[in-house]
Amino acid sequence: MHRLRNPQWILILIFLGIIASVPLIQIVIESRQDDGVRVFEVFSQAPTAANLRAYERGLETANWAAGLSRPWIHFAQFEWLEDGGEKAMFGQAGWYFYKPGLNYMLARHQSAKAPGDTNDPIAAIVDFRDQLAARGIHLLVMPVPNKESIYPDRLTLRATPLSGVMAPRTREVLDMLRAANVEVIDLFNEYGEARRQTRSTPEDSLYLAQDTHWSPAGVDLAAKAVARRLEELGWAQPGQVDYSGRSAHVQRLGDILRMMQVPMIERRMDPETVPCVQMVRSDNGELYKDAPTAEILVLGDSFMRIYQQDEPTAAGFIAHLAKELKQPLISLVNDGGGSTLVRQELRARPAFLKNRKVVLWEFVERDIGLGLEGWRLVPLPQGFGG
């Protein structure tokens, strides 16, 4: 007992107690489950660097102490120190921003990659355009600006209000695409003009405050710009199907907050009320639906999914564009995969190209630098086309 009166013994016991109890409790927890005890897996695999890294990651992910404490420390940092961890950035007046997107914006200028590089957006887009052209299909590209490109002043007071910014790499890519005669929708300009002309009420905001995505107002503006451009190019004529708008409000907790994976933050924050407009066919009152016979194929990422496949449904960009063009469209959407994955999906489902005249390809600005799987050249199968 006299040892317990000695601070040296107490410090040693507490230290050893902490470092030994965490793995011991982990072993007890896992031994009660069917999957086996993870720590012993090291003996059942070859000791290669890759196996050891995977084993270590597995232990870290499964650690009960980490699982228990991580949300609390994230919550404390979020609540008291306005720190959103790896994913979120605090902006002004309840706005949040996606940190990896901001990292892309700020990154030091990098020259375009060498020809043939598997991560060169210019090469991938031009190659895709040429493959489609060989099948008689036009390509219209639509990079959606990062939220901070349009609303830098909602991120930091140092930015000039109502003046958008463009990342050096984005500017370079857009210039090179134009030089390569790729048709590009310039939403940077459209949104910039819209911000200057409209009041700054929440309804007018082109992006959601807590989310990486655009608002219904942003959707509507983009759809109008695309429809206008398609008609100017003569690639699409107004169809015969009338759609009318139907108001539908949804409650949405922004994906930036959800990506932090901290239940306390999700409980603590009020969801945004988003005033959506669902598109309804005027002739039969049905909500907008894709049509397999459509002339226009839309490829894209979660910007194509929001309000369209998510609630309230039929209120996203695709439905709005259908209204503007008076015709249903067909779409292929891959969350986070606007750069390469959606084209790989198209290759796997070549029937999506049959009888199409136009492909509209949407990806978010940050994917220029951060796209999943980079920017691979994706050869399309022969024999399908418009």
Partner 1 sequence: MVFTTQIFVFYFLPLFLLVYYSLPFHRRNVWITLGSYIFYGWWEPWFACLMLFTTVLDFVWGKVITRPGATRVQRKFAVLACVVTNLSFLGFFKYYMFAAETLNEMLAVVGAHQFRVLQVVLPIGISFYTFHSLTYIIDLYRGHATPAKSFSMFSAFVALFPDLVAGPIIRYKTLAAQLHEREHTVSRFASGVAIFIVGFAKKILLANPCGLVADAVFNAANPCALDAWVGALAYAFQIYFDFCGYSDMAVGLGRMLGFEFLKNFDAPYRSESITDLWRRWHISLSSVLRDYLYIALGGNRKGEGRTYFNLIVVMLLGGLWHGAKWNFVLWGAFHGLLLAAERWRGKRSFYDALPRPGRIALTFLLMLFSWVLFRADNLTAATEYFRAMLGLDAVGSVAPLLGAMIYTPYHLLILALCAVLLFQPLQAHDWAQSGVTWVRTALVVPLFVLSLTAMFSQAFNPFLYFQF
Binding stretches for partner 1 (CB under 8 A): 6-12, 14-16, 18-20, 22-23, 26, 39, 47-49, 52, 56, 59-60, 63, 65-66, 69-70, 72-74, 77, 80-83, 85-86, 89-91, 97, 99, 102-103, 105-109, 148, 152, 155-156, 158-160, 165-168
Q: Could you tell me the CA-to-CA distances from 54 to 39, 59, 278 in Å, in that order?
A: 12, 9, 46
Rg of the Cα trace of the chain? Answer: 25
Contact 303, 337 (CB under 8 A): no
Q: Count the Cβ atoms, other than its own, within 10 Å of residue 352.
A: 18
| Shortest distance, position 91 Cβ to partner 1, whole Å | 7
| Shortest distance, position 85 Cβ to partner 1, whole Å | 7
Q: Which is nearer to partner 1, 87 or 129 (CB)?
A: 87
Q: Which is nearer to partner 1, 104 or 307 (CB)?
A: 104
| Shortest distance, position 23 Cβ to partner 1, whole Å | 5
Q: Which is nearer to partner 1, 101 or 121 (CB)?
A: 101
Contact 167, 365 (CB under 8 A): yes
| Shortest distance, position 156 Cβ to partner 1, whole Å | 4
Q: Which is nearer to partner 1, 169 or 376 (CB)?
A: 169
What is the rounded CA–CA span in Å between residue 308 and residue 319?
7
| Shortest distance, position 357 Cβ to partner 1, whole Å | 38
Region of 234 please: left (phi>0), alpha (psi -120 to 50) or beta.
left
Query: What separation, in Å, do the N-terminal and C-terminal C-alpha atoms of the chain show?
Result: 87
What is the rounded CA–CA span in Å between residue 361 and residue 9?
66
The sheet that has 330-333: what strands, in order across it?
183-184, 138-144, 358-364, 296-300, 330-333
| Shortest distance, position 86 Cβ to partner 1, whole Å | 5
| Shortest distance, position 256 Cβ to partner 1, whole Å | 14
Q: Could you tell me the CA-to-CA distances from 266 to 1, 65, 172, 212 in Å, in that order?
A: 48, 21, 38, 16
| Shortest distance, position 70 Cβ to partner 1, whole Å | 5
Q: Which is nearer to partner 1, 65 or 134 (CB)?
A: 65
What is the β-pairing status of strands 296-300 and 358-364? parallel
Contact 59, 38 (CB under 8 A): yes
Q: Which is nearer to partner 1, 40 or 130 (CB)?
A: 40
| Shortest distance, position 30 Cβ to partner 1, whole Å | 14
Write out the two tokens for 202. Answer: 């929440």
Q: Which is nearer to partner 1, 82 or 266 (CB)?
A: 82
What is the rounded CA–CA span in Å between residue 316 and residue 302?
10
Q: Which is nearer to partner 1, 18 or 233 (CB)?
A: 18
Q: Which is nearer to partner 1, 165 or 346 (CB)?
A: 165
DSSP per position, 191-211: HHHHHHHS---GGG-SB-SSS
